[in-house]
């Protein structure tokens, strides 16, 4: 389908069909990539999205939040900025641990006893990407432009080492300090 066919006025208004045609056009013509590559690298606008965890299914609240985030990226693109967007996956945290413990029928005290740390870590890595395909599908379906082919994954050493490098730089500049704050905790962990 060429660009002119997309905008014919004699067609019956069928929004799902138009949606699919636009998505196919964007993909076949690599419109997202062009929106980045046609703008100079020295005129960048950077947006860091907190990545989702792929161990849970995406929902309408994710679509709504991403649509709002995408408005800012597209606006800056329209202003001539180069807006590279990199997909990512948050692979750390309590939701993943609790999910694995529930699936295996264990508690945190069992780790290192009835299941080795290596086995537990392997299961967490396996579980954390369980719904990645569904996330990729909904990302494409909603027209959220982000590089899904080269995501950053928070359990990869390169990511972890980068975070430690940044923390060291902040420490060296005197920007880190010891403080106290109230943090949420898991009642499941407290009772476990």
Residue spans per domain, the chain: 3-90+132-155
Q: Is 55 exposed, middle or buried (0-12, 13-18, 19+ CB in 10 A)?
A: buried
Q: What is the pLDDT of residues 111-164, one digit of tens each?
A: 999 999 999 999 998 888 899 999 999 999 999 999 999 998 988 999 999 999
Q: What is the pLDDT of residues 69-122, one digit of tens each?
A: 999 999 999 999 999 998 899 888 888 888 899 999 999 999 999 999 999 999
pTM: 0.77
The number of residues in the chain equals 192
Does residue 125 contact residue 155 with C-beta atoms inside 8 Å?
yes
- Which phi and psi (to 5°) does residue 149 adopt? -80, -20
CA distances from 158 to 1, 152, 169 (A): 41, 9, 16
Task: Look at the alpha carbons of 67, 150, 130, 56 in this order and tell me if their dihedral is positive or negative.
Answer: negative
Q: Report helix, strand or coil for 87.
A: strand
Q: What is the pLDDT of residues 40-62, one digit of tens each?
A: 999 999 988 778 888 889 999 99
């Amino acid at each position: 389908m060429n660009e002119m066919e997309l905008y014919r006025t004699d067609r019956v208004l069928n929004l799902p069909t138009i949606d699919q045609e636009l998505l196919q056009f964007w993909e076949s013509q690599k419109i997202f990539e062009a929106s980045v590559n046609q703008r100079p690298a020295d005129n960048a606008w950077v947006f860091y999205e907190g990545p989702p965890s792929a161990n849970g299914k995406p929902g309408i609240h994710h679509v709504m939040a991403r649509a709002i985030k995408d408005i800012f990226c597209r606006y800056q693109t329209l202003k001539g900025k180069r807006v590279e967007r990199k997909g990512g996956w948050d692979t750390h945290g309590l939701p993943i641990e609790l999910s694995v413990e529930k699936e295996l029928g264990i508690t945190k005290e069992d780790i290192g006893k009835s299941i080795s740390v290596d086995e537990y870590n392997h299961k967490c890595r396996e579980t954390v990407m369980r719904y990645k395909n569904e996330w990729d599908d909904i990302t494409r379906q909603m027209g959220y432009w982000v590089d899904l082919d080269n995501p950053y994954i928070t359990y990869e050493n390169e990511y972890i080492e980068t975070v430690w490098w940044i923390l060291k730089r902040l420490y060296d500049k005197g920007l880190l300090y010891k403080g106290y704050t109230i943090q949420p905790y898991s009642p499941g962990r407290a009772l476990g």
